[in-house]
Structure 1
Amino acid sequence: MDREEEGCRYLEQHKIPDLLHNLSALLLYHRPEKPRDFLIKMLEKIKLARVTNDYPYLMNESNLNAMFDMLDTAGQGYITVPQFKGALQSMGLSTEDVIYRDEDQITLEMFKENVMKKFAEMWAAF
């Protein structure tokens, strides 16, 4: 194995590309005056969140409500599992362990709870 392959394997093993992608997304979302200080604070917050469970989220409750409303175009109070999976993918979250069947209905509360859980799982991996 050459050095490049070894380096790529190392980065993937430690999920460095995912971490950098998520930190970049936070940076672009917040656009702080001092990006380096912001990134340091986010890394410290991620480290502390392992104890407090207070991870940095790109989406707050109003964002999730708006996203759900956009998906629930008929105003039925639920979305389909394929819609839910599509929303997760659009936020860069995994759909591998979604426990719902395609014919299930996802309510707003289920949607918010599951999305926040997925964000916490994502950050906890770092």
Structure 2
Amino acid sequence: MAVPRQSEAQEYIEKQRIMELFDNITAQLVFHRPDNPKTFMIDYVEKLKESRTTQLDFPCLFDESNIESVFGMLDPTKKGFITSEQYKESTQTLGCDNVDPSPAGSDMDMITQDTFRREVKTGLKKASATFEQV
């Protein structure tokens, strides 16, 4: 078997999203601090494998209540919307790189809670998938 060149190895790592996988596993370990990290990592990879098949329930540090809390912090006066700039900054902070940069309401600079929730959930799903998106 031939040894892959560095560029081939880098291409493989990027295509298979290996670094994202390691980043997600590390974040999960630090967040949960399990007594048995090896078993935890195996379980995490199994959950990823299952979610890849079902396209549901990707392991993620943020759940619906966390997303609602973030929106609440951005909308302390309960107007029901945030600005496009708040949307952009918060989705980047949450690690949602694949969200719609101009979702519904951005033309009026009023991103609703429903739009924010939907976009963040989609972005987190993509970020947590850590496998090649087909």
Please state which band the TM-score falls in when normalised by the shorter chain. 0.7 to 0.9
Partner in structure 2 of residue 68 of structure 1: 71
In the alignment, does 2:47 pair up with 1:79? no
Quick one: percent identity of the two aligned structures?
36
Supply the distance in 2 between the matched residues of 1:102 and 1:32 (Cα, whole angstroms): 45
In structure 1, list runs of 5 or more residues that go unmatched: none
TM-score, normalized by length of structure 2?
A: 0.79
In structure 2, list runs of 5 or more residues that go unmatched: none
Structure 2 counterpart SS, 1:11: helix
In the alignment, does 2:123 pair up with 1:118? yes
Quote the offset at 1:95 in angstroms.
4.6
Of residues 106, 109, 116, the one that matches 2:114 is 109
In the alignment, does 2:30 pair up with 1:25? no
Tell me how large the CA RMSD over aligned residues is. Answer: 2.1
Structure 2 counterpart SS, 1:109: helix
Paired residues in the alignment total 125
Supply the distance in 2 between the matched residues of 1:35 and 1:84 (Cα, whole angstroms): 35
Instruction: Work out which structure has the larger RCO, using CA pairs closer than 8 Å and 6 or more positions apart in sequence.
Output: 2
TM-score, normalized by length of structure 1?
A: 0.83
